[in-house]
Amino acid sequence: MRIGPYALANNLIVAPMAGVTDRPFRQLCKRFGAGHAVSEMITADQSLRLTKKTQRRADFTGELAPISVQIAGSEPEKLAEAARYQVANGAQIVDINMGCPVKKVCNKLAGSALLQDEALVQEILERVVAAVEVPVTLKTRLGFCNGEENIHRVAELAENAGIAALAIHGRTREDMYNGNARYELIRAVKAARRLPIIANGDIDTPHKARQVLEMTGADAIMIGRAAQGRPWLFREIGHFLASGELLPPPDVSEVRAVMMEHLDALYAFYGEYSGVRIARKHIAWTTKGLQGGNAFRQAMYALESSAEQARATREFFDRLSAMSDTLVYDDDSAANDGTAPQQQ
């Protein structure tokens, strides 16, 4: 898989997710075998550029290349200027967001709302590609509304504008995250276009990863929600695609070590107050379904200091380790809700 001049380590990509794919999470996923990761969405609004949130999202210190920055907005010149700014800040790839379905983004006619105006899509793509000398990629959906899917026309516009790779989430904006991703449209786009195509949506197991690659013919797959609390999913998928064999779930001791390192990284990156609060969701994702996890999370949410939070998390995994070397879930449904390692 190549994006412009960059040969990725493999064809497994971390999807950009607001509030999730910060630098510590991207680094963690790359450590577990993701070949590429895209930053959180960064607004093209210059008035917000110096806020702490935006500056953190644009912090790529120590990150493995190539560094990919996703920008979002609805005004072509502002997006072009944002692309130039991020390249000056270290971006080696610029990604344009035309896939975010959340209301506060779409209400500003950004994200997937742009798919309603193909002329504007074309102008944005052409202006951003012309503005920078690095590769520009696009993340989008099948269309805005069901029955009005325009991904073929958007893909043609992207290819003609010089977009280096196109990531397609197999749902419309109307779908949000409901129902199942529709891979048949991704397959049709791949068959019709020359630019690299990345398939996204509902990829949560090694078997599903292989199935989607075979079904769509995509050059790569992009994984988002399934990696929350489970970054070793990239290692599992990479091993399965290479060997056809399933890795066993990680030992409790490994998950404990990964969790504690991730907490330390979050505290260092965000500081005491924000670090503790942001860490809560990562701890919750990792412990969901684990034996005694619900009671642990309720107690953990009330802790206010990083020292207390880290100690409670360490003690929780120590208790699990005393019971079993492998992760123990409360019931089968918890183990197969997308948060636990699945084997088929």
Let me know: does 203 contact 221? Beta carbons within 8 Å. Answer: yes
Which distant-in-sequence residues (6+ apart) come within 8 Å of 198 by Cβ?
13, 165, 166, 167, 168, 218, 219, 220, 221, 222
Report, as residue numbers or ranges, the catalytic residues.
100
Which distant-in-sequence residues (6+ apart) come within 8 Å of 59 by Cβ?
23, 269
How far is Cα 325 from Cα 218, in angstroms, rounded to an integer? 37
Q: Nearest Cα to 339, choosing from 288, 291, 282?
A: 288
Residue 251 carries which DSSP code?
A: B
The widest CA-to-CA distance across the chain, in whole angstroms, is 61
Let me know: does 196 contact 165? Beta carbons within 8 Å. Answer: yes
- Residue-wise DSSP of 197-244: EEEESS--SHHHHHHHHHHH--SEEEE-GGGTT-TTHHHHHHHHHHHS
How far is Cα 104 from Cα 102, in angstroms, rounded to an integer? 6
Sort 121 into a burial class: Cβ within 10 Å, 0-12 / 13-18 / 19+. buried
How far is Cα 165 from Cα 329, in angstroms, rounded to an integer? 39
Residue type, 285: W
Beta-strand relationship, 6-7 and 2-3 = antiparallel
Encoded tokens for 327: 């992760």
- Residue 203 CA, chain-centre distance (Å), reads 12
Sort 107 into a burial class: Cβ within 10 Å, 0-12 / 13-18 / 19+. exposed
Q: Nearest Cα to 223, choosing from 211, 213, 233?
A: 233
